[in-house]
Amino acid sequence: MVDEIVLITGASSGIGAAMAMRFHARGARVIVTGRNRERLEELAKRHPGMSVVVMDVADPRSVTRGMAEVAAGVPHLTTLVNNAGIQRLLDFSATEPPGPADVTSEIDTNFTGLVNVTAAALPLLRRAPRARVVQIGSGLGFVPLAAAPVYSATKAAVHSFTVSLRRQLAGSTVQVVEIVVPVVDTPLHRDLPSPPPMAMPLDDFVGRAMRSLDAGRDEIAIGLGRVSRLGARVAPKRLFSIINRG
């Protein structure tokens, strides 16, 4: 049996760290990446055998360096989890709308970086008999949160890219998976004054995600993520009003 080697971006906290711990507990070799070396090394210290690669997905040069470091240390990858993401509350109706730096950093982290990491990882994924790319999407990619317009748009782009990538890699040894994430209680929502209502506990979410990955599903919509995906087709205006009320 081929060794299971998993690379997770944005693994210093939240969903990325939780998935890293689940894969590690199952005996996989886990490589955690992110911008914060200290947090990554703390995680790896608690879970001996994890490897740390500092990589900022928003910086193409950092992606190139980071993936070269990964390739030098492993024979292949069996799973890539593109989890890195940031969410900002941006008000374009304000007297001073968001500046280019705010907008660009969110797009580069949530979408451009995901595309770049995927492209860089594919040669390593193809070396394994079977492998998968796991994109962490969002229900907001189907029905946006107006207060987080750029985040919502990037997750819509992630969904579109994932559908196209799945078509391009059909028949290959690389499966392409999208997890449509609901509201989960993680540091992603640090800009909010309080935790979002109906946020799913992190452990519950990761448990459901891992079971669905084990089942081999291509599209995994969980909780309110499933509601958003369905609602975008059958009642988009109604669901948009519900999500954006208040």
CATH number where 82 lies? 3.40.50.720
Amino acid 131 reads A
Catalytic residue among 111, 151, 161, 205: 151
Identify whether 151 is a catalytic site residue: yes
Nearest to 177 by CA among 211, 221, 133: 133
Q: From CA 101, how far away is CA 186, in angstroms rounded?
A: 24
Mean per-residue pLDDT, 142-168: 97
pTM of the model: 0.92
- For the cut 60, the answer to whether the pLDDT of residue 1 exceeds it is no
Query: In the prediction, which pLDDT does 246 show?
Result: 63
When divided into structural domains, the chain yields a total of: 1
The string of pLDDT tens digits covering residues 158-181 is 999 999 999 999 999 999 999 999
Q: What is the pLDDT of residue 239?
A: 79
Range of the domain at 225: 5-244
- Confidence category of residue 77, pLDDT binned at 50, 70, 90: very high
pLDDT interval class at 226 (50, 70, 90) = confident
With beta carbons less than 8 A apart as the criterion, state whether 178 and 137 touch: yes
Helix, strand, or coil here: 226?
helix
CA–CA distance, 109 with 117 (Å, rounded to integer): 11
Residue 159 to residue 217: CA distance in whole angstroms: 15
